[in-house]
Chain A
């Protein structure tokens, strides 16, 4: 008995950063990092984005640094 959600087409997720052969994720590159945060400013989990472990940990570090420098939000203000 398949629930509604399970009938969606399954497509293997892949790490987009590996696909692009990104060597290093820079905390100064806020344009790239915005792709890995939700509209609330949270870091997108691996199970959603499909990012590999190596790149995910790089993203996490970079996002946290970018937040300190106010390049990225800690939280989106409109939801407050």
Chain B
């Protein structure tokens, strides 16, 4: 069982109920394959960077799930056949490294981390300008 991240872009014309139905269907297929849903994010309607099938917007759904690898091909096939899906992408989720977790814990603690982070944001734009001048 591997952890995947699947993002689906639905046609903006679909109603909320229809999208929920589609998401349920995906969840069911994962559950049936003895997988597990970790998280479902709804990004809502977003503007697309370029038109897909003449649509300018799309409704984004992001699902993090644990699934057997065999299911991914089947999922891909179903999304392709589904007219309501403008685009989809499944990638392996990155394992959270111990260092990243540590960092998150430190920023959560506050006090020390924001003080250290402040000069970073201040210095970065200045450096950026310097590079632009060079080229």
- Residues of A whose CB lies within 8 Å of any CB of B are 8, 11, 13-14, 16, 19-21, 23-24, 27-28, 48-50, 65, 67-75, 77
A69 close to B89 (CB less than 8 A): yes
Q: Is the interface of A mostly helix, strand, loop or mixed?
A: loop
Within 8 A of A (CB), among B66-90: 87, 89
| Residues in B neighbouring A27, C-beta threshold 8 A | 91
Evaluate contact between A16 and B124: CB separation under 8 angstroms. yes
Chain A neighbourhood of B94, CB < 8 A = 24
Give chain A nearest CB distance to B72 CB in angstroms.
15
Q: Given the complex of chains A and B, what is the CA–CA distance between A57 and B5 in angstroms?
A: 20
Inter-subunit contact B135/A65 (CB<8 Å): no
Contacts of B62 in A (CB 8 A): 28
Contact for B124 among A20, A24, A75, CB less than 8 A: A20
A68 touches B48 (CB 8 A): no
Does A50 lie within 8 Å of B131, measured CB to CB?
yes
Q: Which residue of A lies closest to B134 (CB)?
A: A8
